[in-house]
């Protein structure tokens, strides 16, 4: 795996679950930072800065966002596998998602230092705000 640059983003994030038929919370897509909304037949999942988390949702807060500096070509393989394997070996659980340009990993804030250390020891550059 080639050396990646991973940027630790500022602030905390929340992962939220709403019913599948729930509307996207008003103003959510205007929030700064990463906002991801995914609807399946079973749920509406939201990842957003904690200050914008929907009040009426089931939530998991206290996440920190790590973004692989991109854009990454669609032909690249193994990026998420490598990063998740390196974090798993360090005992760090994650919530992963991808966008058109790059990959993102959310780790619990209490595990951030361990995650950064594991990625650096694996040869990646990790920048912090």
What's the rounded Cα separation, in Å, for the pair 41 and 76? 30
Give the model's pLDDT for residue 1.
Answer: 62
pTM listed for this prediction? 0.94
Residue boundaries of the structural domains of the chain: 5-127
For the chain, 129 residues long, give each residue's pLDDT as a single digit of tens: 679 999 999 999 999 999 999 999 999 999 999 999 999 999 999 999 999 999 999 999 999 999 999 989 888 889 999 999 999 999 999 999 999 999 999 999 999 999 999 999 999 999 998
The architecture in CATH of the region 5-127 reads 2-Layer Sandwich (3.30)
Query: What percent of the chain is helix, strand and coil (3-state, nearest 5)?
Result: 25, 35, 45
């Amino acid at each position: 795996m080639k050396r990646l640059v991973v940027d630790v983003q500022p602030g905390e994030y929340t992962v939220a679950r709403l019913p599948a038929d729930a509307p996207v919370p008003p103003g959510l897509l205007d929030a700064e930072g990463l906002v991801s909304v995914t609807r399946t037949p079973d749920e509406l999942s939201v990842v957003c800065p904690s200050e914008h988390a929907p009040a009426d949702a089931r939530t998991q807060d206290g996440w920190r966002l790590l973004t692989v500096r991109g854009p990454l070509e669609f032909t690249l393989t193994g990026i998420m596998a490598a990063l998740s394997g390196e974090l798993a070996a360090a005992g760090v659980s994650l919530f992963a998602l991808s966008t058109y340009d790059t990959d993102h990993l959310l780790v619990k804030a209490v595990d951030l230092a361990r995650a950064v250390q594991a990625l650096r020891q694996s040869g990646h550059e990790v920048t912090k705000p």
